[in-house]
Structure 1
Amino acid sequence: MRGKLLDEVRPLLEEPAALEILAGETPARDTVTVVMSHSVRPGRERDYLRWQDRARRAQERFPGFLGYEGFEPVAGIQERWVVVFRFDTREHLDGWLESDTRRKLLEEGRGYFLDYDMRTIKSAFSGWFGFGGETGQGPPPNWKQAMSVLLALYPTVMVLNLTLSPALTAAHLPGYLVLFIGNVASVAALTWLLMPLVNRIFASWLLPGRAVSVSTSVAGALVMVLCFALFVAVFGLITG
Structure 2
Amino acid sequence: MISVNDEAAALVIHHAVQPSAQILYEMWLKDIAMEAQRFSGHMGVNIIRPHSPSSRYTIVLRFDSNKNLKSWLESETRKRFIEEVRPALVDEEEIGVQTGLEYWFTPPAVKQIHARPSKQFLITLSAIFPLTVILPWLLKPVFTLIPLLGHPIVNNFVLAVIIVYLMVYVIMPRYTRLVATWLFE
**TM-score, length-scaled by structure 2:** 0.48
**TM-score, length-scaled by structure 1:** 0.38
- Higher RCO structure (Cα 8 Å, ≥6 apart): 2
- Bigger Rg, structure 1 or 2: 1
